[in-house]
Structure 1
Amino acid sequence: MPLPQSPLTPAGPQAARVFELGTLFFWMCLAVLVAIVLATLWALWRAPKGDARTPAPGSMGEEPGRRRAVSVALGLSIAGLLVLIAASVFTDRALARLPLQGALHVELTGHQWWWEARYDDAEPSRVFTTANELHIPVGRPVIVTLQGTDVIHSLWLPSLAGKKDLIPGRTATLTLQADRAGSYRGQCAEFCGLQHAWMALEVVAEDPVAFDAWAQSQRQPAADPTEPQRLRGREVFMGSTCAMCHAIEGTDAAGRQAPPLTHVGSQRTLAAGRLPNTPEHMASWITDPQAHKPGVNMPAHAFSREDLQALVAYLQGLK
């Protein structure tokens, strides 16, 4: 089922402010459009008919009325622009006034083409990292620190907040809050390469108790497999190039060039929203990622059928 991805369905105070400003702009621009159309029709109706010649400038009855019309139009235009400027300033200030007491801090890094989310905590042992899914508690402000590692990316969470660029070498901050539970789709809104369109971020807003339980589970290392097939799958993973790029907490795999896989089996999608997270799609993704996401850095792997099945069973069990 597609996730909500529309600024017309705000689910938090930041998005609500943006929606209100957008609504004001829409109605005022519509009023201007209607006024222009009516003025054009009136001018056409008043235009000379047949062989009538255009009156010379300054002729009786023309200049005073025209000057009044121009003055009124100019005054209304200036007033409308001032209203829009004031509304934009007040909205910007309102966005900056979101109470931040007890805020959750997340560092979000944009890569080609996936998202890395690092949940900060005053206690280092409670810090953990996930990829392509951002879980947040309902009713609690979230401070997202944005960074880019390669090219310029842009985070857009239409139902929760506005857009913010991720520029390599710079740090930006985005504050947001979800007022109701649900899953919302985010998207890179800055063209960042071949697979820009497939750089999605799922934001899961959940009850604070459920969020705390999820966060606690994410802090745990990967459980040791007990089934023979999954044990074989771990051997395949550790003996291949997979362990050079991916990290699985609790194992010797500590790569930082690709999404962490410690709890990959619990995620809804693969490859930043490109594929549903099913055994069939995972096997296809491992075998030939270029077929699904051309240009991705992940190489193809030619595992035997038995080793591929074992590897998929191991990864799907990381929950």
Structure 2
Amino acid sequence: MTFKPFAAPTALLALGACVGRQSVLDPAGRDANTLLTLFAVMLAGLIVLWLAVNGMMLFFNKISTRHYDESTARKLIVGGGIVLPTLVIAALLAWGLSIMPDQRAPGDGLRIKVTGEQWWWRVEYWPEGAATPIVAANEIRLPVDARTEFNLTSAYVIHSFWIPALGGKMDMFPGRETMISLEPTEAGTFRGQCAEFCGASHAQMAFDVVTLPQDDFDVWLAAEAAPAMATDGAQAQRGAEVFLAEGCGACHAVRGTEAVGQVGPDLTHVGSRKSLGAGVLEPTIANIADWIAHTDDLKPEVEMPAYTDMPEDDLMALATYLKGLK
């Protein structure tokens, strides 16, 4: 075998990709830590089995070449090839199953219902005792050191809800509700993703996850429940008129206005979100305008029509209005 002196440094550099806001090896939640421990223990068990089986093969083929009678050989084969792997795998399975129920433990009060759409995420916050939800889209915010329960479903096809840095994944089915709970342990911004192929824009179905200290989360949730606060100015006012005139309110809701549509994402506070189009673009005015005019190019087979013929002045005014919705 040829020795490659640069293999180890290259491997160390590759490990740098194992950190970040969408890495299972850089956990920021209690559940993600559990899964990383599970992975490490399973890997250790695999190494034990590999060393034991291959060590025996090496020993009896290269080191100890004396003849063994049939009874001894049978004991070695059964013990090393069947009994040892069975015991190790059974122990790993029993331990792994014992720690998994925490992934479905009840929440501490807050529930979030997430519906997988084509291709975006409908998000509804249900604080304890609430009669109606606080509706958002394509972004989730969570309190740190509190367990939040997620009720998951899908509108059309199977999706899979996954925030690698916070915990495991859970499939989402049309007409059925599944549940998972997560408990972040660090404040920060992370990335979630649909982990089940769901169509043409599956790879562009992401969402940002912001974890906040409990007090900061409470302040944010109260602001999220309030009507939209649009930016003042003639251009933003013109954008609000364009929004209603073009019929955007038939699909999108902006609380506090005449727009009450339920087909597309809720835009009440779209200007304060960290991404546009379910993780496709940064939410700048230029990108919002580009999204409105070229939606189908940026996200294939999306249901929102592209406004390619909208006058440039109206387009920029509409983008300014949407960016100002805080």
- TM-score after normalising by structure 2: 0.87
Residue identity matched to 1:264: V
Which sections of structure 2, spanning at least 5 residues, go unmatched?
1-18
Please give the alpha-carbon distance, in whole angstroms, between the structure 1 residues aligned to 2:275 and 2:23. Answer: 20
Matched residue, 1:226: 232
Shift of residue 217 of structure 1? 1.1
Out of 150, 154, 164, which is 1:144 matched to? Answer: 150
Please give the alpha-carbon distance, in whole angstroms, between the structure 1 residues aligned to 2:47 and 2:207. Answer: 34
Shift of residue 72 of structure 1? 2.0
Matched residue, 2:47: 30
Matched residue, 2:35: 18
Matched residue, 1:164: 170
Tell me the SS of whatever aligns to 1:216: helix
Matched residue, 1:51: none
CA deviations on 1:194-246 (whole Å, 9 max, x unpaired) are 11111112111101111111111111112355311111101111011322211
Deviates more, 1:204-213 or 1:33-42: 33-42
Matched residue, 1:113: 119
Out of 263, 275, 278, which is 2:281 matched to? Answer: 275
Out of 300, 307, 310, which is 1:303 matched to? Answer: 310
Contact persistence 2:273–2:283 (CA under 8 A): yes
RMSD: 2.1
Contact persistence 2:160–2:196 (CA under 8 A): yes
Contact persistence 1:18–1:91 (CA under 8 A): no
Contact persistence 1:17–1:95 (CA under 8 A): no
Please give the alpha-carbon distance, in whole angstroms, between the structure 2 residues aligned to 1:168 and 1:13. Answer: 29
- TM-score after normalising by structure 1: 0.89
Shift of residue 120 of structure 1? 1.3
Please say if 1:81 is aligned against 2:95: no
CA deviations on 1:75-114 (whole Å, 9 max, x unpaired) are 2111112111211221123434x464x4211111111111
Shift of residue 42 of structure 1? 4.2
Q: 1:205 to 1:65 in 2, by over 3 A?
A: same
Shift of residue 37 of structure 1? 3.5
Percent of aligned pairs with the same residue? 36
Matched residue, 1:313: 320
Contact persistence 1:3–1:183 (CA under 8 A): no
Contact persistence 1:289–1:298 (CA under 8 A): yes
Larger CA Rg, structure 1 vs 2: 1
Please give the alpha-carbon distance, in whole angstroms, between the structure 1 residues aligned to 2:56 and 2:200. Answer: 47
Please give the alpha-carbon distance, in whole angstroms, between the structure 1 residues aligned to 2:126 and 2:56. Answer: 58
Matched residue, 1:181: 187
Please give the alpha-carbon distance, in whole angstroms, between the structure 2 residues aligned to 1:271 and 1:281. Answer: 10
Please give the alpha-carbon distance, in whole angstroms, between the structure 2 residues aligned to 1:235 and 1:3. Answer: 41
Tell me the SS of whatever aligns to 1:269: coil
Out of 255, 258, 271, which is 1:249 matched to? Answer: 255
Contact persistence 1:200–1:272 (CA under 8 A): yes
Contact persistence 2:114–2:121 (CA under 8 A): yes
Matched residue, 1:104: 110
Please give the alpha-carbon distance, in whole angstroms, between the structure 1 residues aligned to 2:53 and 2:144. Answer: 45
Shift of residue 165 of structure 1? 0.9
Shift of residue 254 of structure 1? 1.2
Contact persistence 1:270–1:282 (CA under 8 A): yes
Please give the alpha-carbon distance, in whole angstroms, between the structure 1 residues aligned to 2:163 and 2:230. Answer: 36
Residue identity matched to 2:170: K
